[in-house]
Amino acid sequence: MLKGKVAVVTGGTRGIGYAIVKKFLENGASVVLWGSRQETVDRALERLRQDNPDWQVTGMAPDLGSYEEVARALDSVKKKYGKIDIMVNNAGISARDSLYDYNPEDFDRIMDLNVNSVFRCSKAAAAIMREHGGGVILNTSSMVSFYGQPAGSGYPASKFALNGLTKSLARELGRDHIRVNAVAPGVTRTDMMEAVPQEVIEPIVRTIPLGRLGEAEDIANAFLFLASDMASYITGAIIPVDGAAMT
Protein backbone atom coordinates (compact mmCIF):
# COMPACT_ATOMS: atom_id res chain seq x y z
CA MET A 1 0.00 0.00 0.00
CA LEU A 2 2.97 2.35 0.49
CA LYS A 3 5.42 1.03 -2.07
CA GLY A 4 7.91 3.73 -3.03
CA LYS A 5 6.80 6.10 -0.27
CA VAL A 6 9.17 7.75 2.22
CA ALA A 7 7.87 8.22 5.76
CA VAL A 8 9.16 9.88 8.93
CA VAL A 9 7.64 8.74 12.25
CA THR A 10 8.32 10.59 15.49
CA GLY A 11 8.10 8.62 18.72
CA GLY A 12 8.81 5.55 16.63
CA THR A 13 10.90 3.50 19.04
CA ARG A 14 8.11 1.81 21.02
CA GLY A 15 4.38 1.34 21.47
CA ILE A 16 2.07 2.75 18.84
CA GLY A 17 4.88 4.56 17.03
CA TYR A 18 6.89 1.36 16.64
CA ALA A 19 3.80 -0.45 15.37
CA ILE A 20 3.28 2.30 12.78
CA VAL A 21 6.90 2.04 11.64
CA LYS A 22 6.63 -1.74 11.27
CA LYS A 23 3.28 -1.55 9.47
CA PHE A 24 4.65 1.00 6.99
CA LEU A 25 7.73 -1.15 6.34
CA GLU A 26 5.57 -4.22 5.79
CA ASN A 27 3.72 -2.24 3.14
CA GLY A 28 6.75 -1.17 1.16
CA ALA A 29 7.66 2.24 2.57
CA SER A 30 11.14 3.48 3.41
CA VAL A 31 10.93 4.73 7.00
CA VAL A 32 13.01 7.06 9.14
CA LEU A 33 12.02 6.58 12.77
CA TRP A 34 12.70 9.33 15.29
CA GLY A 35 13.17 8.87 19.01
CA SER A 36 14.12 10.97 21.99
CA ARG A 37 17.51 9.26 22.44
CA GLN A 38 19.89 7.66 19.97
CA GLU A 39 20.26 4.53 22.11
CA THR A 40 16.53 3.81 21.99
CA VAL A 41 16.54 4.51 18.25
CA ASP A 42 19.38 2.02 17.77
CA ARG A 43 17.58 -0.66 19.78
CA ALA A 44 14.40 -0.20 17.72
CA LEU A 45 16.38 -0.43 14.49
CA GLU A 46 18.06 -3.63 15.66
CA ARG A 47 14.68 -5.24 16.42
CA LEU A 48 13.30 -4.25 13.03
CA ARG A 49 16.34 -5.53 11.14
CA GLN A 50 16.07 -8.83 12.98
CA ASP A 51 12.50 -9.11 11.70
CA ASN A 52 13.52 -8.30 8.13
CA PRO A 53 17.05 -7.26 7.15
CA ASP A 54 15.78 -6.04 3.78
CA TRP A 55 13.53 -3.33 5.21
CA GLN A 56 14.61 0.20 4.32
CA VAL A 57 14.69 1.75 7.79
CA THR A 58 16.99 4.26 9.45
CA GLY A 59 16.71 6.34 12.62
CA MET A 60 17.49 9.71 14.15
CA ALA A 61 17.09 11.51 17.47
CA PRO A 62 16.58 15.22 16.70
CA ASP A 63 15.40 17.66 19.35
CA LEU A 64 11.71 18.21 18.59
CA GLY A 65 11.87 21.36 20.72
CA SER A 66 14.05 23.09 18.12
CA TYR A 67 12.57 24.05 14.76
CA GLU A 68 16.07 24.48 13.32
CA GLU A 69 17.07 20.93 14.34
CA VAL A 70 13.82 19.47 13.06
CA ALA A 71 14.26 21.25 9.73
CA ARG A 72 17.86 20.06 9.41
CA ALA A 73 16.84 16.48 10.17
CA LEU A 74 14.03 16.51 7.59
CA ASP A 75 16.34 18.10 5.03
CA SER A 76 18.79 15.22 5.56
CA VAL A 77 15.95 12.77 4.90
CA LYS A 78 15.13 14.61 1.69
CA LYS A 79 18.77 14.51 0.61
CA LYS A 80 18.97 10.77 1.27
CA TYR A 81 15.66 9.72 -0.30
CA GLY A 82 14.87 12.63 -2.61
CA LYS A 83 11.49 13.38 -1.00
CA ILE A 84 9.24 12.97 2.05
CA ASP A 85 5.77 11.59 1.36
CA ILE A 86 4.46 10.95 4.89
CA MET A 87 5.10 12.78 8.17
CA VAL A 88 3.71 11.03 11.26
CA ASN A 89 3.66 13.20 14.38
CA ASN A 90 3.32 10.53 17.05
CA ALA A 91 5.69 11.62 19.84
CA GLY A 92 3.86 12.72 22.97
CA ILE A 93 3.70 12.62 26.75
CA SER A 94 0.89 12.62 29.29
CA ALA A 95 0.22 13.12 33.00
CA ARG A 96 -2.57 12.36 35.48
CA ASP A 97 -1.96 15.04 38.13
CA SER A 98 -4.89 16.92 39.62
CA LEU A 99 -5.09 20.65 38.99
CA TYR A 100 -4.15 21.34 42.63
CA ASP A 101 -0.94 19.36 42.32
CA TYR A 102 -0.15 20.17 38.69
CA ASN A 103 3.32 21.65 38.16
CA PRO A 104 2.97 24.48 35.59
CA GLU A 105 6.30 23.47 34.08
CA ASP A 106 4.92 19.99 33.43
CA PHE A 107 1.89 21.51 31.72
CA ASP A 108 4.20 23.57 29.49
CA ARG A 109 6.28 20.48 28.71
CA ILE A 110 3.21 18.52 27.58
CA MET A 111 1.96 21.35 25.41
CA ASP A 112 5.39 21.84 23.84
CA LEU A 113 5.84 18.23 22.78
CA ASN A 114 2.21 17.36 22.00
CA VAL A 115 1.35 20.56 20.13
CA ASN A 116 4.33 22.80 19.39
CA SER A 117 6.53 19.98 18.07
CA VAL A 118 3.72 18.90 15.74
CA PHE A 119 3.65 22.44 14.38
CA ARG A 120 7.45 22.42 13.94
CA CYS A 121 7.53 19.06 12.16
CA SER A 122 4.51 19.87 10.01
CA LYS A 123 5.91 23.23 8.94
CA ALA A 124 9.26 21.77 7.89
CA ALA A 125 7.76 18.66 6.27
CA ALA A 126 5.07 20.59 4.36
CA ALA A 127 7.69 22.80 2.71
CA ILE A 128 9.42 19.70 1.36
CA MET A 129 6.15 18.03 0.33
CA ARG A 130 5.02 21.11 -1.59
CA GLU A 131 8.23 20.99 -3.64
CA HIS A 132 7.39 17.44 -4.73
CA GLY A 133 3.69 17.80 -5.44
CA GLY A 134 2.10 16.89 -2.11
CA GLY A 135 2.13 14.45 0.76
CA VAL A 136 0.43 13.31 3.94
CA ILE A 137 0.74 14.59 7.51
CA LEU A 138 -0.72 12.34 10.21
CA ASN A 139 -1.04 13.16 13.90
CA THR A 140 -1.67 11.00 16.95
CA SER A 141 -4.58 12.44 18.92
CA SER A 142 -6.50 10.61 21.67
CA MET A 143 -10.02 9.62 22.71
CA VAL A 144 -9.70 12.16 25.53
CA SER A 145 -9.61 14.91 22.91
CA PHE A 146 -13.38 14.34 22.59
CA TYR A 147 -14.32 13.80 26.24
CA GLY A 148 -11.58 15.24 28.42
CA GLN A 149 -10.41 13.30 31.47
CA PRO A 150 -10.94 13.73 35.22
CA ALA A 151 -7.29 14.60 35.97
CA GLY A 152 -4.14 15.56 34.11
CA SER A 153 -5.82 18.35 32.15
CA GLY A 154 -2.69 19.16 30.14
CA TYR A 155 -2.93 15.98 28.07
CA PRO A 156 -6.53 16.36 26.83
CA ALA A 157 -5.95 20.09 26.35
CA SER A 158 -2.97 19.31 24.13
CA LYS A 159 -4.99 16.82 22.10
CA PHE A 160 -7.92 19.23 21.72
CA ALA A 161 -5.36 21.71 20.34
CA LEU A 162 -3.88 19.03 18.09
CA ASN A 163 -7.31 18.35 16.58
CA GLY A 164 -7.72 22.04 15.82
CA LEU A 165 -4.26 22.18 14.26
CA THR A 166 -5.05 19.11 12.17
CA LYS A 167 -8.30 20.53 10.80
CA SER A 168 -6.80 23.96 10.15
CA LEU A 169 -3.74 22.61 8.35
CA ALA A 170 -5.97 20.38 6.25
CA ARG A 171 -7.87 23.43 5.04
CA GLU A 172 -4.69 25.42 4.45
CA LEU A 173 -2.53 22.77 2.80
CA GLY A 174 -5.14 21.12 0.61
CA ARG A 175 -4.31 23.47 -2.22
CA ASP A 176 -0.76 22.06 -2.16
CA HIS A 177 -2.11 18.48 -2.31
CA ILE A 178 -1.09 17.79 1.27
CA ARG A 179 -3.63 15.82 3.29
CA VAL A 180 -3.68 16.21 7.09
CA ASN A 181 -5.52 13.80 9.37
CA ALA A 182 -5.33 12.44 12.91
CA VAL A 183 -6.00 9.12 14.60
CA ALA A 184 -7.49 9.21 18.11
CA PRO A 185 -6.62 5.94 19.89
CA GLY A 186 -8.54 4.63 22.87
CA VAL A 187 -7.00 2.57 25.65
CA THR A 188 -4.35 0.55 23.86
CA ARG A 189 -2.22 -2.38 24.98
CA THR A 190 1.37 -1.16 24.83
CA ASP A 191 4.47 -1.75 26.93
CA MET A 192 3.25 0.89 29.39
CA MET A 193 -0.02 -1.00 29.87
CA GLU A 194 1.87 -4.19 30.73
CA ALA A 195 2.63 -2.74 34.16
CA VAL A 196 -1.05 -2.02 34.91
CA PRO A 197 -2.63 -4.66 37.19
CA GLN A 198 -5.39 -6.82 35.72
CA GLU A 199 -7.83 -5.63 38.37
CA VAL A 200 -7.38 -2.12 36.98
CA ILE A 201 -7.73 -3.19 33.36
CA GLU A 202 -10.88 -5.28 33.75
CA PRO A 203 -13.19 -2.37 34.72
CA ILE A 204 -11.84 -0.41 31.76
CA VAL A 205 -12.60 -3.24 29.38
CA ARG A 206 -16.18 -3.42 30.67
CA THR A 207 -16.74 0.16 29.44
CA ILE A 208 -15.65 -0.71 25.89
CA PRO A 209 -18.48 -2.03 23.68
CA LEU A 210 -16.11 -4.25 21.71
CA GLY A 211 -15.05 -5.88 24.97
CA ARG A 212 -11.29 -5.58 24.68
CA LEU A 213 -8.39 -3.16 24.78
CA GLY A 214 -7.04 -1.85 21.52
CA GLU A 215 -3.85 -3.33 20.15
CA ALA A 216 -1.04 -1.21 18.76
CA GLU A 217 -1.63 -2.86 15.39
CA ASP A 218 -5.25 -1.64 15.42
CA ILE A 219 -3.95 1.91 15.58
CA ALA A 220 -1.20 1.28 13.04
CA ASN A 221 -3.79 -0.05 10.58
CA ALA A 222 -5.65 3.25 10.73
CA PHE A 223 -2.43 5.16 10.05
CA LEU A 224 -1.67 2.86 7.13
CA PHE A 225 -5.07 3.51 5.58
CA LEU A 226 -4.79 7.29 5.99
CA ALA A 227 -1.24 7.30 4.60
CA SER A 228 -2.24 5.30 1.54
CA ASP A 229 -3.89 6.38 -1.69
CA MET A 230 -7.06 4.62 -0.50
CA ALA A 231 -7.64 7.74 1.63
CA SER A 232 -6.90 10.19 -1.18
CA TYR A 233 -10.10 12.20 -0.55
CA ILE A 234 -9.89 12.22 3.25
CA THR A 235 -8.41 15.24 4.95
CA GLY A 236 -9.20 17.16 8.13
CA ALA A 237 -10.52 13.99 9.78
CA ILE A 238 -9.99 12.92 13.40
CA ILE A 239 -10.64 9.18 13.31
CA PRO A 240 -11.36 7.46 16.64
CA VAL A 241 -9.97 3.94 17.02
CA ASP A 242 -11.28 3.16 20.48
CA GLY A 243 -13.90 0.40 20.31
CA ALA A 244 -16.56 3.09 20.95
CA ALA A 245 -15.18 3.62 24.45
CA MET A 246 -16.01 6.70 26.50
CA THR A 247 -14.20 7.97 29.58
Q: Residue 70 and residue 127: Cα distance in Å, rounded?
A: 12
User: Residue 191: its pLDDT value, please?
Assistant: 76
Predicted local confidence at residue 32, as pLDDT: 98
Could you list the active site residues?
155
Report the C-alpha gap between 95 and 110 in whole angstroms: 8
What is the pLDDT, as a whole number, of residue 96? 86
**pLDDT tens over the chain, length 247 residues:** 999 999 999 999 999 999 999 999 999 999 999 999 999 999 999 999 999 999 999 999 999 999 999 999 999 999 999 999 999 999 999 888 999 999 999 999 999 999 999 999 999 999 999 999 999 999 999 999 998 988 999 999 999 999 999 999 999 999 999 999 999 999 998 876 776 678 878 888 988 999 999 999 999 999 999 999 999 999 999 999 999 987 5
Q: Where are the domains of the chain?
A: 6-237
Q: For the whole model, what pTM was predicted?
A: 0.95
In this structure, are residues 234 and 178 in contact, taking their beta carbons and an 8 Å threshold?
Answer: no
Exposure string for 223-239, b = 16+ CB within 10 A, e = fewer? bbebbbeebeeebbbbb
pLDDT at residue 192 in the model: 65
pLDDT on residue 203: 86
Sequence-ordered list of residues with C-beta below 8 angstroms from that of 83, at least 6 positions apart, any chain: 6, 128, 129, 132
Residue 162 has a pLDDT of 98
Domain 6-237, CATH: 3.40.50.720
